[in-house]
Amino acid sequence: MKLSLALMASVSTLVLSAAAWAHDPVRGKELSQVCQSCHGEDGNLALQDNYPLIGGQHFDYLVHSLTAYRSGDRDNAIMAGFARDLSDQDIRDLAAWYSRQDGQLEP
């Protein structure tokens, strides 16, 4: 009986932890409306040479970058303004959307 309760508690903890790290690309697309003005709907439009193509980037890279912009560890006044109010969930959802897009190869 004690083993069963301990096992159930462990499984519950794992399920809740997994839910906390879930990401939703559909919600990410909805959140990306402001991003689209510089990066395009799929992340493959650079309106200026210094705007990166983010479509097809690795999920972890996008999460790391947006988190760094939000915290100020990565210095960019434009991105810091956009990232400042993003929650961890928002960041994961945006990363899920853009990481699922086809990337462009440099010519």
**List of residues 6+ apart from 21 with CB closer than 8 A:** 92
CB of 55 within 8 A of CB of 98?
yes
Looking at the domain covering 25-99, what would its CATH class be? mainly alpha
Residue 46 — very low, low, confident or very high, per pLDDT cuts 50/70/90?
Answer: confident
Residues 52, 61: Cα–Cα separation, whole Å: 13
Asked if residue 17 has pLDDT above 50, the reply is no
pLDDT tens column, 20-37:
558 999 999 999 999 999
**pLDDT band for position 104 (cuts 50, 70, 90):** confident
What pTM, to 2 d.p., does this model score?
A: 0.78
E-only strand ranges, 1-107: none
Render pLDDT for 1-16 as a digit per residue (tens, 0 to 9).
555 665 555 555 444 4
**How buried is 27 (Cβ within 10 angstroms: 0-12 exposed, 13-18 middle, 19+ buried)?**
middle
**Contacts (Cβ under 8 Å, ≥6 apart) of 57:** 43, 98, 99, 103
Residue 62 CB contacts under 8 Å (≥ 6 apart), including other chains: 54, 91, 94, 95, 98, 99
**Residues 47-59: tens digit of each pLDDT:** 888 899 999 999 9
